[in-house]
Amino acid sequence: MTELSHLNPRRYPDPSIRSFDPRFDALRLASASVECLYQGARWSEGPVWFGDGRYVLWSDIPNNRILRWDEETGAVTPFRRPSGNANGNTRDREGRLVTCEHLTRRVTRTEYDGSITVIADRYQGKRFNSPNDLVVKSDGSIWFTDPSFGIDSFYEGEKQEPELPQNVYRVDGQTGEVTMVCDEVIGPNGLAFSPDESVLYIVESRSKPRTIRAFDVAGDGRSLTNNRVLIDAQQGTPDGFRVDIHGNLWCGWGMGTDELDGVRVFSPGGEALGHIALPERCANVCFGGRHRNRLFMAASHGLYSLYVNTQGVCGG
């Protein structure tokens, strides 16, 4: 059993939470601090909250497993191993786990009985690269990014030659048809919709500097228009992120310095509002807890949490 460690010092307000803009003060709680829930992963990614069971699942990609943290007991146990080098996770609108798998180069759904259904593993007869992150829209469609990270080495999958460009795809919630919705992002990574689903944000992780791009969702709900840079990350490295009910972006951030590692929070207009400092780079986040007001942060070797004064959007 891995011994849990905690951040120090323990003071209120937590000095690791910094405001850049007065608007961030309304999003933080004076008597809430960052908590370390687990240490012992090799590269933490893809957290997702299951309120019906009061637990978080998240991926430890190089160790080829999905871990489970239980809110009531604090225990961490294996949920699935091997996991196909799982990366991003979310839930569909029926509450089922949906996962991006690097090794198998596919998107899967875990059914209520524990069986696994392959949602998508090819586009026009060619295998995906390594599906990375995903989000489920209110119409049941699944949108996911497909960079080559999992096939670039033997660390997060198996080194293989790509068969497709690095695109963003949509799986129709009714027919299962796979369509390519974006080929304009260099190294597409994390993605999320605005609260009203009128905008899709996508991390461009192979541009220098990295950016978070915004696209308008067309009236048909199936295509994207008006590609633009919302956030220039400068020295930061955005990876995965989620959106709160006010439209703010809570972004995994790093890497390798005290000023950058953690979670960077931006307004819907792209202004930096604040930062949650962690002792390691954060890859991805999710909102959970009874009121969706607890931010869970998958960061390198660990899992962290912080209660905040906002809520994550439903389905995010």
Measured between alpha carbons, how far is 172 from 142 in angstroms, rounded to an integer?
Answer: 7
CA 282, CA 44: separation in Å to the nearest integer? 8
184 annotated as belonging to a binding site for a ligand = no
State the catalytic residues: 239
User: Which run of H or E residues covers position 250?
Assistant: strand 249-253
DSSP letters for 276-303: EE-SS---EEEEESTTS-EEEEEETTEE
Contacts of 248 (CB under 8 A, 6+ apart): 27, 265, 266, 267, 268, 273, 310
AA identity, residue 189: N
On whether 271 is known to bind a ligand per the annotation, the reply is: no
Query: Measured between alpha carbons, how far is 128 from 150 in angstroms, rounded to an integer?
Result: 11
Amino acid at 316: G
DSSP category for residue 100: E
State how far the Cα of 298 lies from the Cα of 93, in Å rounded to an integer.
23
Beta-carbon contacts of residue 80 (< 8 Å; ≥ 6 apart) = 65, 66, 86
25 is in an annotated binding site: no
Q: Which residue, 81, 80, 58, is CA-closest to 70? A: 58
Whether residue 45 is annotated as binding a ligand: the answer is yes
Q: Is 263 in a helix, a strand, or coil?
A: strand
3 state SS of 23: helix
Give the tokens for residue 253. Answer: 């951030």
Question: Which residues sit in the known binding site for substrate?
Answer: 132
Question: Which residues sit in the known binding site for a divalent metal cation?
Answer: 45, 189, 239
